[in-house]
Structure 1
Amino acid sequence: MSTQALGSLTLALLLLVAGANLFGQLAVRLRQPKVVGEILAGILLGPSLLGLLAPGATAQIFGTGERDPSTVVLGFLYHLGLLLLMFVSGAGVRNVLGKDNRRPTAWILGLGTALPFLIALGAARLLPLDAFMGEAGSETAVVLVFAIAAAVTSIPVITKIFYDLGILHTRFASLMLGVAVLEDIILWGFLALATAIASATVADTDAGVAGSVAVHVGVNALYVVLAMTVMPAVLRRLSRARWNILASQSPTAWVVVVFLGYVSVAAALDVTLAFAAFLAGFGVVGGMRSSEEHRFGAPIDAISHVSSAVFIPIYFALVGYRLDFTRGFSGLMVVGFLLGSTAVVLVSVGLAARVAGFRGLDILNLALTHNARGGPGIVLASVAFDAGIISAPFFTTLVLTAVITSQACGVWLDVVLRKGWPLLSSEGPVQPRHAVPGSLSAPANRA
């Protein structure tokens, strides 16, 4: 890499990191999810604004194609930010599946998640799928992504909203995060199926598609089962082994090695890398005993802080950079999908909440929170777009839907607390508890 190329890359990183953090903090002060500001920074730097005003400067700074050094490095950082987002999200799902919430969790998961997925699955067949389809040309994969996008909810964004509002200690937060954890595990499995179908469509003959998909899904399922059941115990034993110098002398390095190990094995097995990173975070935390939290809790928090300040903002800024409103935008698609999927989610979760015994304001709080697509919605869009499953207009639609629904959730819950209304009637009015007064961020919890 020449000095000029290195200088251009350095300037690109400066603009991405500074812009994403500045606009992210501005969004927080306006009581919006931080991700909104980070994506906006990328939009301003991308083809929708700077690219129009100064196309030559934009190409010089951010690269001109696949072989351009800046494009290659920024592409790597984009994927690294995505993986770190999923890792810290996985590490942040501890202690959320409370016993008191098992019945409502089952109902909300069974109806609030399943109904939107099934309705979208049927409705997608009635749409002109060519407008939604990417380079892979797989109609089945597009339909699956469409259904996942209608049903997905966000562990990172609602955790961050709960933290900022000081309500992580409530039963409401525990219930919603428990549902989100189980739901995302199921829906990521369907995304693995969609990517398998798309890759098989491109690489195989018709006769080999079924076999390729079956193998891919089987390997993904086995990876998930082992990561959820066996690996936490294995990691606990490895971290306590006397020969493990990394775990004893450099716990941060050990956590990073585990993260990279999960992703490397997933890559070798053709498992969806983003989900592997999530499982790595889950496995590290799941393998910790309470007596080990002082040893591994700090390294996880350190990784989360650095990721939240540098790599994850770069990822979201690059997501915004890739949104080209001059070409890859369909207002009709955005409005149709946003309103349609939101209506289905609100009705489905409302029905599930009512069957579970909730009434009135409780139902509205649960439904609006569950509708926040946040980080997983954007990750879904990124993975599906990179795999050639969806088109640029549908990619833009999914990202905007994730941002708008997350904004709606944060604004509504803030209104509820300001009015002194209960999140759940069984809890009564909530007294916010802020871990660090005035803090704008929390480790392992991203918007």
Structure 2
Amino acid sequence: MSTEALGSLALALLLLLAGANLLGQVAVRLRQPRVVGEILAGVLLGPSLLGLLAPGAAAAIFGSGGEDASTVVLGFLYQLGLLLLMFVSGAGVRNVLTRENRKPTAWMLGLGTALPFLVALGVAPLLPLHRFMGEAGNRPAVVLVFAIAAAVTSIPVITKIFHDLGILHTRFAGLMLGVAVLEDIVLWGFLAVATALASATGGAPGAGLAGRVALHVGTNVLYVALAMTVLPLLLRRLSRARWNVLASGSPIAWLMVVFLGYVCVAAVLDVTLAFAAFLAGFGLVGGVSNSEEPRFRAAFDALSRVSSAVFIPVYFALVGYRLDFTRGFSVVMLVAFLVGSTAVVLVSVGLAAHVSGFRGLDIVNLALTHNARGGPGIVLASVALDAGIISPPFFTTLVLTAVLTSQACGAWLDFVLRRGWPLLASEGPVQRSGQAASGVAAAQVERR
């Protein structure tokens, strides 16, 4: 890489990193999810604005596509940010399925998730799916992605919202995270099926194609099963082995070695890499017992802070960069999918919450939070676009739906807490923890 090319790449990273973090902080100050500002930074630097006003400068900074050095490196950082996002999310999966939440979790998973998924599967044949279809040209894969997008819930975004509002310690947060954890595991399995169908499209027809799909899906299922059961136990033994100098002397390096190992094995087996990264986090930190967690918690927190400040914001900025509102964007598609999927989710989760014994405001809080698509919605769109399953207009629709539903969730929960209303009637008024509570008290004094 020449000095000029390296300078252009450094400038691109500077703009993406600074823009994502600055606008992310602005979004937080406006009581919006940070991801909204990070994506907006990419939109401003992408073809929707900078590329439209100064296409030559945009190409010189961010690359012109193909084998251009900046394009290749930014593509790698995009994938790395995605994998680290899923890795961090997987590590957050722990101790959420308490006894009091098991019944409502089962109902919300069985109705609140399954019903939107099944409704989307039933409605899909009535839609002009050719407008949603990507280069792979596989209709069943598009239908699966459409159904997943209608049902998915965001673990990273609702966790961040709960943290910012100081309510992670509540039963409400534990219930929602428990549902999201189980739901995302199931839905990522369906995404593995969709990518298998897309990747097998070019194969031999008939039984040959069916065999390739069956092999791919079987490999994914086996990988997931081992990663959820056997590998966490194996990693626990390896991390405590005396000869393992990485785990004892450089735990951050050990975390990265395991993370990259999961991804490498998944690549060889043609397993969805994003889900492999999620399972790596689960196996290392998320799935361990309480006695094991402190061993790697400090190292993981350090890695998480760097990822959350650098690589993940750059990923979301590049997601925004890929949104092109000047070509192929359909307002009708966005409004129809956003309104239709939201209505089905709210009704389904409301029904599940009612059957579980919740009433009134409890149902509203649970339904609006469950509808936040956030990170997984964006990851789903990214993986499906890269696999050639969906078209760029549908990619834009899925990303904007994820952003708008997350905004609605954060704004509503903040409103409820400021009014002094309970998130769940059984908990009573919420006592916010940490800086969130201090910030609310300061704001109340200022208003007085």
For the aligned pair, the TM-score class normalised by the smaller chain equals over 0.9
2:93·2:286 contact (CA, 8 Å) conserved in 1?
Answer: no
Alignment of 1:186-335 (within 5 A): 186-286=186-286, 288-335=288-335
Shift of residue 435, structure 1, vs aligned partner: 6.1
Alignment of 1:54-93 (within 5 A): 54-93=54-93
CA distance in 2, matches of 1:287, 1:130: 41
CA distance in 2, matches of 1:390, 1:83: 20
Task: Quote the residue 2:128 is aligned against.
Answer: 128
TM-score, normalized by length of structure 1?
Answer: 0.97
Task: Quote the residue 1:164 is aligned against.
Answer: 164
Shift of residue 70, structure 1, vs aligned partner: 0.2
1:233·1:287 contact (CA, 8 Å) conserved in 2?
Answer: no
Shift of residue 436, structure 1, vs aligned partner: 7.7
Shift of residue 202, structure 1, vs aligned partner: 2.4
Task: Quote the residue 2:443 is aligned against.
Answer: none
The alignment partner of 2:48 has SS state of coil
CA distance in 2, matches of 1:294, 1:399: 35
Task: Quote the residue 1:45 is aligned against.
Answer: 45
CA distance in 2, matches of 1:123, 1:291: 47
Q: Which amino acid aligns with 2:3?
A: T
Q: Which amino acid aligns with 1:81?
A: G
After superposition, the CA RMSD in angstroms is 1.2
Shift of residue 288, structure 1, vs aligned partner: 4.2
Q: 1:289 to 1:322 in 2, by over 3 A?
A: same
Q: What percentage of residue pairs aligned between the two structures are identical?
A: 80
Q: 1:195 to 1:42 in 2, by over 3 A?
A: same
Task: Quote the residue 1:404 is aligned against.
Answer: 404
CA distance in 1, matches of 2:334, 2:300: 37
Task: Quote the residue 1:445 is aligned against.
Answer: none
1:164-190: CA deviation from partner (whole Å, max 9, x where unpaired): 000001000000000000000000000
1:97·1:175 contact (CA, 8 Å) conserved in 2?
Answer: yes
2:8·2:62 contact (CA, 8 Å) conserved in 1?
Answer: yes
2:154·2:372 contact (CA, 8 Å) conserved in 1?
Answer: yes
1:15-38: CA deviation from partner (whole Å, max 9, x where unpaired): 000000000000000000000000
Alignment of 1:411-430 (within 5 A): 411-430=411-430
- Pairing 1:351–2:351 present: yes
CA distance in 2, matches of 1:322, 1:43: 8
Q: 1:286 to 1:156 in 2, by over 3 A?
A: closer
Shift of residue 99, structure 1, vs aligned partner: 1.5
CA distance in 2, matches of 1:287, 1:404: 31
1:298-341: CA deviation from partner (whole Å, max 9, x where unpaired): 11001100000000000000000000000031000000000000
CA distance in 2, matches of 1:36, 1:204: 43
Q: Which amino acid aligns with 2:216?
A: H
5+ unaligned residues in a row in structure 2: which ranges?
440-448
Number of aligned residue pairs: 439
CA distance in 1, matches of 2:418, 2:434: 15
CA distance in 2, matches of 1:294, 1:212: 43
Task: Quote the residue 2:113 is aligned against.
Answer: 113
Q: Which amino acid aligns with 1:181?
A: V
Alignment of 1:337-416 (within 5 A): 337-416=337-416
Shift of residue 431, structure 1, vs aligned partner: 1.1
CA distance in 2, matches of 1:433, 1:14: 35
Shift of residue 268, structure 1, vs aligned partner: 0.6
CA distance in 1, matches of 2:202, 2:368: 39
5+ unaligned residues in a row in structure 1: which ranges?
440-447
TM-score, normalized by length of structure 2?
Answer: 0.96
Shift of residue 208, structure 1, vs aligned partner: 1.5
Task: Quote the residue 2:444 is aligned against.
Answer: none
2:378·2:402 contact (CA, 8 Å) conserved in 1?
Answer: yes
- Pairing 1:7–2:3 present: no
CA distance in 2, matches of 1:204, 1:91: 39
CA distance in 1, matches of 2:391, 2:348: 28
CA distance in 1, matches of 2:60, 2:328: 22
Q: 1:436 to 1:416 in 2, by over 3 A?
A: closer
Q: 1:297 to 1:120 in 2, by over 3 A?
A: same
CA distance in 2, matches of 1:196, 1:434: 45
Shift of residue 100, structure 1, vs aligned partner: 1.1
Q: 1:403 to 1:286 in 2, by over 3 A?
A: closer
Shift of residue 294, structure 1, vs aligned partner: 3.8
